[in-house]
Structures are given as structure tokens and as C-alpha cells.
Chain A
């Protein structure tokens, strides 16, 4: 194997890595914003309100991300109504289609993480809030959500790493993310092993950095507990 090709094309790979990071960051932020109302609706006492997020989460967690990307990128253009609407400039761009698909996907996973965290808060704390006379809004803002945030951190860190790995699928709709850039370089140089291994190493470094950052945040957020629970990501 000849790794001089890696040195030569390393700046291009970093460009790709930057695109991957953008995709992950934007999707994670948007997905997190959508996930909160979905999670709250998921634990609603009203059955039909619960049913909608349940179906949403089931669909996005039960189907491959690749199908979801293709549904948004190729699927939307099947309808003339979409092609003629004001949304077309966005849905025409693979970049935004990837962000839409990733956001929908990660919001389903994140909503489940949030739901688990909210339900993991001891019932006694909810009762204590009521006894003090907090309104429902105050209870969520002051106690439940900050508590849930601390519980959520390890799982949320894992979700970001899974999203980073999922972002490689953007390359299937012509985006030059890290994987897409690697495939473009390989088409020119025909050195698949060297370039793919280099790309894999960059992904690995990014994952390790994300784990380290989350470990710091978790130490801060849960410092009153004096324990650490973050692990290497698990699937699921």
C-alpha cells in the first residue's frame, strides 16, 4: 500500500469531514428541537395524542436511514405539486434533503431518549413540585427538564455518534461529505484501501472527540452526583 496518496489528498478529506460535521451539527440541533414536543406528546395521558408520535417514532426507527434519504431526495420530486411549490429550491438540493432526512430520523431517536429520561425522574419529585404549588409549566422548566437533561446526556452523546456514522449515507445522494469525498478521490487515483482507511481514521478521531466533550459536559451537569456513567456508544 502506498500512503503518499493520503498525504496528497488529506486537505480534500478534511474538506469532506467539515461537510459531514455540518450535516451532523445542523441535524442534531434541529432534531433536538423537534424531539422535545414529540417526547412530550408521547407521554400524553390522551390516547390519540400518544398514537401520532408513536407511529412517527416507529416508522423512523424501523426503516433504514438510506430509505428515508431516498424518500426525501428522489421521492419528493415524484409529485408535480412539490416541484412547482416554493419548497422546490430546497428539496432540489441534496444538501438540504440530507439535512431533512437526518433531522426527521434523529428526532425520532432523540424523542425516545427524552421520553425515557422524563419517565426516569422519580415520582416523588413530581409530587414535591405539586405540593410546593408549581404550575405544570414551572414544574417542567425548573425541575423535570433540567433533571432530564442530566439523565439524557450519555444516551444523547451516543445518538450524536450514531448520527455521525449515519451521515456517511449523504454520499449516496452525491454530497461530498467525508465518505463522498473519499469515493471521488478513489475514482481518480484508484487506491480504495488507502483512502477509505484514512477516512475511517478521521471518523474515529471525530467520534473520540465527541465522546471526550460529552464526558466533560456530563461531569459538569451531574457533578452533584459524583459519578460518571458515560460509556462507548451502544446501538439501539
Chain B
């Protein structure tokens, strides 16, 4: 067995943090993605410009830079806003909150494109049929559009989640106690860099494999309405 010098449970705690970060960012990102896709398909030009600006900027700059901008920038922005209301105390944005914001924004920008493609692939007849049955826009979206969009978007979203899972490692740079930072701590006390970074790598691989299995289960579930024979 590999000797982890007692850092095994530390690394597992890191894995829990990594997973929490990934799932929280996924939640934020999915909402941003749906909003972004709706905005890109909006009939109002200004809303389309905003959505295009958002996806172009986020996709064109490195994720590490996004994390750093949010982590260091959010503090000054929040303090400036609070200052307007006469609040002068120091506000600190935690690494976790900054990580969820940055990774959620990144995931949302890519998910916007996935959702937009899926929304556009729903035939017009489906919309018309829903309206003919007397459904309002919200009910039409929940009952008719969303279940189909979900099925079409899932493979793309699954890939994005795997990328997100790996991007969580970047938040260790601003001090979040995830797998990567736990490995850094273990390395600085044991000097066995190769061992601990390799263990960290295999933990990410394990999380990747689990996610892949889960996504393929979800894909089967989402398309259970098809091919029923």
C-alpha cells in the first residue's frame, strides 16, 4: 500500500471541498446558461449584445485570470458599493464564494452556447402545439420545452462539467482547501512532491470517471421517452 504519511484523510476532505465547489458552480452556471441562451435568442437587441459580450469575454480570458479577478476584484467592488451606503468596514470575499462565482460564470458562458443550440433545435410546431392547447409561456417552458432541451443539451453539459471539475483546481491558487491545496500542504511537510501530486491526479481521475458514469445514466433517463418501440 502507498504510504501517505497520514495525509490520506486530509486529501479526502479536500475531495469533498472540490466536489462541493464543482456542484455549487454547476448550479450557478446552469442558471446563467439558461438565462444567457434566452438572452441570445431575445428579440431585444441590447439584451443580445449583453449576452454576446458576456460569452465572448469569459471564453476569451483564462479561467485562472477570472478566478483572480473575482477574488481580488470582488472585495474592492463590494467595498465601493458598501461605501456608497456609508459602510466603511473591510469586506472580505472568501475563496469558496469567489470560486463559485468565477467557475459559475465560466460554466455559464459555455453552457449558454449549449442551451442556445438545444433551444433552437426544438421544432416550431412544438411551440405552436403548446399554445394551441392553451398553455401560458411559463407552463409551455416547463412542460414542453425544458424536458426536450435538457435531453439535447445533456451530452454537451456533461463535457462542460468534466472541464469544470478540473478547473476547480485553480481555486487552490487563492487558498481554497481543495484536493490541490491539501496536496500542496502534504508536499511541503513531506517533500514527496511526485507522490502526492500523482495521488491528487488520480483523485481527479476518479471524480471524472464517477461523473462520466453519472452523466451517461442521466442521458439514458432523459431520453427514456424515445425509442420505446
Which A residues are closer than 8 A to B by beta carbons?
Answer: 58-59, 62-68, 70-71, 74-79, 161, 164-169, 171-172, 179, 182-183, 186, 192-193, 196-197, 199-200, 203-204, 207-208, 232-236
Q: Are A64 and B65 in contact (CB under 8 A)?
A: no
Given A196-B69, A196-B73, A200-B69: A233 and B59 interface contact (C-beta under 8 Å): yes
Contact residue among A68, A76, A172 (Cβ-Cβ distance under 8 Å from B201): A68
Chain B residues contacting A70 (CB-CB under 8 Å) are 183-184, 193, 197
Chain B residues contacting A64 (CB-CB under 8 Å) are 166-170, 180, 204
Q: How many B residues touch the partner, as a band?
A: 35 or more
Q: Are A59 and B205 in contact (CB under 8 A)?
A: yes
Q: Are A203 and B61 in contact (CB under 8 A)?
A: yes
Alpha-carbon separation in the docked complex, A223 to B75 (Å): 51
CB distance from A70 to the nearest CB of B (A): 5
Q: Are B73 and A62 in contact (CB under 8 A)?
A: no
Q: Are A66 and B180 in contact (CB under 8 A)?
A: yes
A-B contact pairs, 29 of them (CB 8 A): A62-B209, A63-B166, A64-B168, A64-B180, A65-B166, A66-B169, A66-B172, A70-B197, A71-B194, A71-B201, A74-B197, A75-B194, A76-B194, A78-B194, A79-B194, A164-B62, A167-B62, A169-B170, A182-B65, A186-B72, A192-B68, A192-B73, A193-B73, A193-B76, A197-B69, A200-B60, A200-B69, A232-B113, A235-B159
Q: Are B198 and A75 in contact (CB under 8 A)?
A: yes
Chain A residues contacting B162 (CB-CB under 8 Å) are 62, 236
Chain A residues contacting B81 (CB-CB under 8 Å) are none
Q: Are A63 and B204 in contact (CB under 8 A)?
A: yes
Q: Are A234 and B113 in contact (CB under 8 A)?
A: yes
Chain B residues contacting A78 (CB-CB under 8 Å) are 191-195
Alpha-carbon separation in the docked complex, A88 to B187 (Å): 20
Q: Are A75 and B73 in contact (CB under 8 A)?
A: no
Q: Are A71 and B198 in contact (CB under 8 A)?
A: yes
Q: Are B65 and A75 in contact (CB under 8 A)?
A: no
Closest chain A residue, CB of each to CB of B199? A67
Contact residue among B55, B57, B61, B205 (Cβ-Cβ distance under 8 Å from A63): B205
Residue B110, interface by CB 8 Å: yes
CB distance from B61 to the nearest CB of A (A): 4
Given A63-B201, A75-B197: A193 and B163 interface contact (C-beta under 8 Å): no
Q: Are A77 and B64 in contact (CB under 8 A)?
A: no
Q: Are B160 and A235 in contact (CB under 8 A)?
A: yes
Chain A residues contacting B195 (CB-CB under 8 Å) are 78
Closest chain A residue, CB of each to CB of B164? A235
Closest chain A residue, CB of each to CB of B167? A64
| B28-69 contact mask (Cβ, 8 Å, vs A): 1 or 0 | 000000000000000000000000000111011111110011
Alpha-carbon separation in the docked complex, A74 to B192 (Å): 9
Q: Are A165 and B169 in contact (CB under 8 A)?
A: no
CB distance from B119 to the nearest CB of A (A): 17
Q: Are A192 and B62 in contact (CB under 8 A)?
A: no
CB distance from B92 to the nearest CB of A (A): 14
Contact residue among A65, A74, A165, A182 (Cβ-Cβ distance under 8 Å from B193): A74
CB distance from B91 to the nearest CB of A (A): 15
Q: Are A67 and B193 in contact (CB under 8 A)?
A: no
Q: Are B63 and A165 in contact (CB under 8 A)?
A: yes
CB distance from A116 to the nearest CB of B (A): 14
Residue B223, interface by CB 8 Å: no
CB distance from A195 to the nearest CB of B (A): 10
Alpha-carbon separation in the docked complex, A207 to B192 (Å): 38
Chain A residues contacting B159 (CB-CB under 8 Å) are 235-236
